[in-house]
Structure 1
């Protein structure tokens, strides 16, 4: 029985050593996985920072473009108003000239008569 206890203790010790080695391998793999995850996290964090900076630049550029578009729209509107005013003036001139063209010309002798009457 003493031999059996000794063998059992030896078997138990060997089994514990194997289990310990297995746990050490798993721990090593776990630590390696953790290191890879930390490195991946650093990499992702770097990409996030780059994306945030790009977003800030794009927002700034968008603001600049919006301001430029507003200014161009104001200039365009002013130009359209100016052209509308010119067109309105042109229509008025045409209308006035067409009214004077529709009046029949007075014969020259009536003009002379009118002048002679005025002279009296």
Structure 2
């Protein structure tokens, strides 16, 4: 079995003055690393929030597109119905015009007949 090496707290402290700046620099790097890790965590959280927002927006877009398709379909049906009604209205109008014309001719003939009978 290998002999255990015990390190006393006095041995973990810097032995020379040249080691002090290195430890201070190491501590600064450690703090900077912690700051970067926190920023990374916040960045990942923002990214996840943005993904969720994008998903919600995508879903709203899908619903809007489906609604647009339904509206276009309904509009097409209404346009077809309007054309049918316009054709029907025009046919009825033409029929009434023909009836009116025939009635005017009968009235003129009746007027001519009554004038010639009274003479």
| TM-score, reference length from structure 1 | 0.84
Please name the residue that 2:3 is paired with: none
Matched, 1:83 2:75: no
Show the 5 A alignment for 1:11-90. Answer: 11-90=24-103
> How many equivalent residue pairs?
105
Give me the whole-angstrom Cα distance separating, in 2, the residues matched to 1:86 and 1:104.
Answer: 27
Dislocated runs of 4+, deviation >2 Å: none
Give me the whole-angstrom Cα distance separating, in 2, the residues matched to 1:97 and 1:25.
Answer: 105
Please name the residue that 1:114 is paired with: none
Which consecutive residues of structure 2, in runs of 5 or more, have no partner in the other structure? 1-14
Give me the whole-angstrom Cα distance separating, in 2, the residues matched to 1:20 and 1:105.
Answer: 123
User: Which structure's CA Rg is the greater one?
Assistant: 1
Which consecutive residues of structure 1, in runs of 5 or more, have no partner in the other structure? 107-120
Give me the whole-angstrom Cα distance separating, in 2, the residues matched to 1:10 and 1:27.
Answer: 25
Please name the residue that 1:113 is paired with: none
Give me the whole-angstrom Cα distance separating, in 2, the residues matched to 1:94 and 1:76.
Answer: 27
